[in-house]
Amino acid sequence: MPIFNIKEVRCIADVIHPYSEAVRLGRVPIVVDNGSSQCRVGWAIDDEPKLVFRNVVAKQRGKKEIEAQVGNDIGNIEVVRWLLKTQFDRDVVTQYDVQEQIFDYAFAHLGIDTHGCVDHPIVITETLCNPNYSRQLMSELLFEGYHVPGIAYGIDSLFSFYRNSHKGDGIIVSCGNQVTHVIPVLEGLPRFEHGRRINVGGSQLTSFMHRLLQLKYPGHFSAITLSRAENFVHEHTYVATNYAEELARWADVDYYEENVHKIQLPFNPLPVVGASSEALKERRQQQIKRLQEMNAKRREEKLAADEEKLRQLCSIREILEIGRAHV
């Protein structure tokens, strides 16, 4: 039975990509997949995004905006988890100051160096049935803050549906970080009036896994972090097509032994220094010498204090003798 090791994910800071003349002069659109978990940003002419980072900002209270850490600048997310801020509330953008920091980070790392504007159209994703007020504020931010020439909004799951050449009927189940959307498609057109939103997503699955593991293994309470629970969900779970059948299979001991995943938590042994008898003897001698020096110093300080007291008493006696002589 294989034993799996935990993959410790350390974010690597994003590089600033070159801003080529072809992209600059061609006014190539910028595609922003603004997900509640990860943000993907790139040029429309590329097959892969240039930037993929966590859609969060870490900023301490009292610090300046320029000192905030965004996305992959956060090396260890567990250390600053209590400082994390997101622009989303149930998949709807509500914190536009955080969204502005995300845009600043993305445009800067794309290499855009034009002063005062981003002279490229923006294609950005949004949640299903996004409120008009939220879209209005997003448009206001991009038009007035970055002076973009145009904006197009779309739903990421529909983009994926059409990208995979599904032009007929279908049903889309989009499981996001915070919510899950179900969208029916008839004759190539989405039927939003029949769509459904379920307030369960990947973050709830991660929290549930995190709590289950901490309850089952209380001895490893601190070692089972949210990041590791998220890794377990991504790497060691799957969607059951028939839940009742899966339960019956896992009730079988043989099936369990063949398919169970055993995961080894990181083990950090304490450094053990094997000291020989000579080293111990030398260490004792050093300790004895140190104690002797401390005692000698203490005796000298006491002797100096006694001498000072003696001088003071002698001075007092002289004063008394002089006084008696005058009387």
Name the phi and psi angles at 62, rounded to 5: 85, -10
Give the Cα separation of 174 and 126 in Å (integer). Answer: 13
Q: What is the mean pLDDT of residues 31-60?
A: 91
How many angstroms separate the CA atoms of 175 and 200, rounded?
8
Q: Which residue has the tokens 């279908």?
A: 170
Q: Which two tokens stand for residue 281?
A: 């003897």
| pLDDT of 274 above 60 | no
Taking the C-alpha atoms of residue 278 and residue 198, their distance in angstroms, rounded to an integer, is 70
Contact criterion met (CB below 8 Å) for 192 and 128: yes
Identify the residue with better confidence: 301 or 6.
301
**pLDDT in the model for residue 272:** 53
pLDDT band at 285; cut points 50, 70, 90: confident
Polymer length of the chain: 327
Model confidence pLDDT, tens digit, residues 192-213: 999 999 999 999 999 999 999 9
Read off the pLDDT of each residue in 120-147 and give the average, rounded to a whole number.
93
pLDDT tier for residue 320 given thresholds of 50, 70 and 90: confident
Q: How far apart are the first and last CA of the chain?
A: 107
Amino acid identity of 95? Q
Q: Which of 210, 212, 240 is nearest to 228 (CA)?
A: 210
- Residues 70-116: tens digit of each pLDDT: 888 888 888 888 888 999 988 899 999 999 999 999 999 999 988 88
pTM: 0.73
Contact assessment for residue 92 and residue 29, using Cβ atoms and an 8 Å cutoff: no
**Residue type for 90, please?**
R
pLDDT digits (tens, 9 = 90+) for 168-189: 888 999 998 989 999 999 988 8
H-helix or E-strand containing 196?
Answer: strand 196-198
4 contacts 231 by C-beta, under 8 angstroms: no
40/51 Cα distance (integer angstroms)? 6
Nearest partner of 149 among 290, 13, 29, judged by Cα? 29
Residue 73, SS3 per DSSP: helix
Distance between CA 18 and CA 228 in Å, rounded? 34
Quick check: 172 and 155 in contact, CB under 8 A?
A: no
